[in-house]
Homo-oligomer: A and B are copies of this chain.
Amino acid sequence: MIKFSLCPRYELAFELLGKKWTGLIIRCLLDGPKRFSDLTDIIPHISAKVLADRMKELEHQGIIIRSVYPEIPVKIEYSLTEKGRDLEKALEQVQQWAEKWIIIKQKKSE
């Protein structure tokens, strides 16, 4: 009997997507390049520490590019590479799934 097994590339993909915040960061950047402070504004509750960690990992994985503009104060912009932009379809499907299935719990009024 032939046993099912996972694809190693898929496993590696989820070493990225399976980390907290990664899916949200990439989603933000699909909207266009963003600065560090844009990301902390847009992503609720992410801390500077973890955002910095995540950006380093994503840059290391070739998913984002960090561009430095020597303005005053310095402007640093993060943008997606082709590899990063190519995640759009996958994240769009997550979005569609979420719209169909995720229920937002309302707080009781009163």
Taking Cβ atoms with an 8 Å cutoff, the residues of A that contact B are 3-14, 17-24, 27-28, 31-32, 41-44, 83, 86-87, 89-90, 92-102, 104
Contacts and interface: CB of A to CB of B under 8 A. Distances in A.
A14 B100 CA distance: 14
A43 B11 CA distance: 9
A90 B100 contact: no
Contacts of A20: 18-19
A14 B23 contact: yes
A84 B36 CA distance: 34
A92 B5 CA distance: 15
Contact of A42 (B6, B14, B28, B83): B6
A100 to B, nearest CB: 7
